[in-house]
Amino acid sequence: MKFLRESTGFVKEFNTFDAFALNFSFLGPAAGVAYPLFIAAFLPEASWTLAVIIGSLLMVPVVINYYLLTMLIPRSGGDYIFVSRAMGPFIGSVLGMSLIMAFTMGFPVLALLEVVMVITPGLQSLGYVLGVRGLISLGEGITSSPSELFAVTTLVIFAVFSLSLSERLYVRAFRYLTLLQIAGTVFMVVGLFTVNDQPVFTSPYVNLQTLSLSSIFVLSMFAFTNAPAFFAGEIKRIKKSFISGYLISYAVATLFALLLVIGIERGFGKQNYINYVLNGWSLPMSTSSILSFAVYAFLNVPYIVVFLVISALSWYVLYAMINVGASSRILFSMAFDRLLPSFFAEVRRGIPIYSLIFTLTLSMLFNFLEVYLSYSVSFAVDGLWFVIWNYLIVAIASIKYGKSDRKILITSLLSVFTLSLVVVLTVLYGLLNSSFGSVIFQGNTAFDLATIIIPPMTGTVTYLISKEIRKKQGIELSEIYKEIPPE
């Protein structure tokens, strides 16, 4: 049985810099180190610089594996296409719907991080340097009221989806916001290196706390290195763009992360930083975010503080924009493969419009559950979920592509090993160290379990229903998956 496919409707709007911007922002060095540095307060014997280096090295096979896979199959849809063409429609459906559910459940997490790590400390910083007490009170009040917090996270989600209403708007907004983030991160590094000159502790010995902190850096930053794969069919000059999008962006983001971590330790001292995170300081600014520490160097220069706060607004917004683009393209690809209704494949202004609307609807539902009703997802479950149900499955599936490219066989096997190691390190030390475990596993236990079960169950049900419907229409799903989808 042979199926003729029409054009997808996508246009090649992304250039080489855009490919770089996608992955750089998905890694997000400033946002990526913010949470691990908070966790570092509970791992006093860990070497921060070694943790960054080890975490980055652990994911090098994953970066190269994605680069090789995307070069082999440069189609939008990314991980869903890689897995479904290697392992068939059932596993493809499970992975695809699991990612959709994970992305939509993740939007409230990102919106909440935008509030806690950027908006709250940002308002407090502006209030302090400008002498406006009301801004400090506003920053403190947002997180103390469920209704206000829900209102702000809702605004963040709608802002992200508004920037995704057309391909051209999406690309331009992403490009300029990434440039803003890079400029802001440069100012942060410069500021941190001018505060003080404290000794940087780098133990020559790799202990369990350092390894555990490296796994947190992976879950928070280094694992998220596959953004170009979701947009591959829309990227120009793929060879040059993928080198920039995967390899160069990873190297630059890693360098920024290392400089930020060294800057914090050099500027404030390890023990002082831990004390500030756990007990606060005399300034009316939250110590849970790296933004407050970066602002510290410029308290006498209000214009730079304003710029830093504005640039920091891009941290989680860019990450969420990738979630929007990725989820809509996965839904599009699944509709093109007859797993989902055909309207999900309708493209307007370069974007799958109904896929976008569906993603927004689910995101708002989970925003209400997670933020307003406080059914929060723990960091560990959220991060481990992506590693196990996404990256690990892609690594296993890519073994099959080793027949086409032996380099893929090597990188896929190494990826399986390093990803599994991260999972074991995180879970094992979370059980051994109660203070560390209580922080990373903090969340609603019942909802955590639901987030683990719901996505694969949704994928399984989707496949079984689609198989029966298409069978009645005379379409055999397994035949479709022998084809590579069009650009």
Per-residue pLDDT of 19-45, as tens digits, reads 999 999 999 999 899 889 888 888 888
> Which CATH number characterizes residue 149's domain?
1.20.1740
Give me the percent of the chain exceeding a pLDDT of 70: 95
Domain hosting residue 84, numbered range: 16-374+458-471
pLDDT at position 5 over 60: no
Q: Per the domain annotation, does 353 fall within a domain?
A: yes
Check if the beta carbon of residue 169 is closer than 8 Å to that of residue 160: no
Looking at 255-395, which runs of residues are DSSP E strands?
A: 347-348, 351-352
Overall average pLDDT of the 49-58 stretch: 95
Q: How many distinct structural domains can be found in the chain?
A: 1
Interval 424-442 mean pLDDT: 85
Yes or no: say if 130 and 301 are a contact pair by the CB < 8 Å rule: no
| Cβ-based neighbour number of residue 71 at 10 Å | 16
Residue 35 resides in a domain: yes
At how many degrees (to 10) do helices 16-27 and 314-336 cross? Answer: 110
Residue 446 lies in a domain: no
In a domain, 153, yes or no: yes
Among 316, 352, 392, 252, which Cα is nearest to 122's?
316
Is residue 438 included in any domain, yes or no?
A: no
CA angle 52, 216, 197 (to 5 degrees): 40
State residue 132 phi and psi, 5-degree precision.
-110, 100
The predicted model gives 409-436 an average pLDDT of 91
Residue 26 lies in a domain: yes
Q: Return mean pLDDT, the chain.
A: 87
Question: Does 427 have pLDDT greater than 90?
Answer: no
Per-residue tokens: 46: 């860990």
The dihedral built from the CA positions of residue 230, 247, 65 and 63, taken in this order, carries a sign that is: negative
Cβ distance 187 to 304 under 8 Å?
A: yes
What are the pLDDT digits (tens) for 161-194? 999 888 889 999 999 999 999 999 999 999 999 8
Contacts of 92 (CB under 8 A, 6+ apart): 80, 83, 84, 85, 334, 337, 339, 481
- Which tokens in the block code for residue 60? 């090098």
pLDDT surpassing 50 at residue 3:
no
Instruction: For residue 14, report the phi and psi dihedrals to the nearest 5 degrees.
Output: -85, 130
50 Cβ contact partners less than 8 Å away, ≥ 6 residues apart: 202, 203, 206, 210, 214
Q: What is the mean pLDDT of residues 393-397?
A: 93
Residue range 193-202: average pLDDT? 72
Weakest-pLDDT range from 49-58, 76-85, 247-256, 371-380: 371-380
pLDDT tens, position by position, 128-138: 999 999 999 98
Query: Is 191 part of any domain?
Result: yes
Q: How confident is the model at residue 6 (pLDDT cuts 50, 70, 90)?
A: very low
Q: Is the pLDDT of residue 69 over 90?
A: yes
